[in-house]
């Protein structure tokens, strides 16, 4: 059983550029969530995808967008990067989908650390 893998692990971009982060979900999981962890903060929910549709969104602007593919892997795209987008981006998968039960825990990847200069 493979876990959640994310790529790249580290990257550096400049302000105004665009970035794509990738995530492969754990086998058997059909739901993918993305979180942003800025320095000194807890993980902040960006959005969740279930069956290739966005299934919930946190307080992030539209320049944060995503995709989920038929194999349940996912991408996070951020356009017009700002300095404050520098953070660790965590991907997590879970079973259950749109009707997530309270008991479903998240299986996390190790994250992609983005630095915006």
Partner 1 sequence: ILNVEQSPQSLHVQEGDSTNFTCSFPSSNFYALHWYRWETAKSPEALFVMTLNGDEKKKGRISATLNTKEGYSYLYIKGSQPEDSATYLCAFKGGGSYIPTFGRGTSLIVHP
Question: Rule CB under 8 A: which of 67-96 touch partner 1?
Answer: 90
Q: Pick from 20, 22, 56, 60 the residue near partner 1 by CB under 8 A.
A: 56
Rounded to a whole number of angstroms, the minimum distance from the CB of residue 25 to partner 1 is: 13
Beta strands in the chain (DSSP E): 5-7, 10-13, 19-24, 31-37, 44-50, 53-57, 64-68, 74-78, 87-94, 107-108, 112-116
Rounded to a whole number of angstroms, the minimum distance from the CB of residue 100 to partner 1 is: 4
Regarding 44 and contact with partner 1 (CB under 8 A), the answer is: yes
What angle (nearest 5°) sits at the alpha carbon of residue 35, between those of residues 32 and 41? 160
Q: Pick from 1, 2, 28, 42 the residue near partner 1 by CB under 8 A.
A: 42
User: What are 22's strand-pairing partners?
Assistant: 7, 75
- The nearer residue to partner 1, 16 or 61, going by C-beta atoms, is 61
What angle (nearest 5°) sits at the alpha carbon of residue 44, between those of residues 43 and 46? 125
Residue ranges binding partner 1 (CB under 8 A):
3-4, 33, 35, 40-45, 48, 56, 59, 90, 99-111
């Amino acid at each position: 059983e493979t876990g959640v893998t994310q790529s790249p692990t580290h990257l550096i971009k400049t302000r105004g550029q665009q970035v794509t982060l990738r995530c492969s979900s754990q086998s058997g999981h059909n739901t993918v969530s993305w979180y942003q962890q800025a320095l000194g903060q807890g993980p902040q929910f960006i959005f969740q995808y279930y069956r290739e549709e966005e299934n919930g969104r946190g307080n992030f602007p539209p320049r944060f967008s995503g995709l989920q593919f038929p194999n349940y892997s996912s991408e996070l795209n951020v356009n017009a990067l700002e300095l404050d987008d520098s953070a660790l981006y965590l991907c997590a998968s879970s079973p259950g989908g749109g009707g997530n039960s309270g008991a479903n825990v998240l299986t996390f990847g190790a994250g992609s650390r983005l630095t915006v200069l």
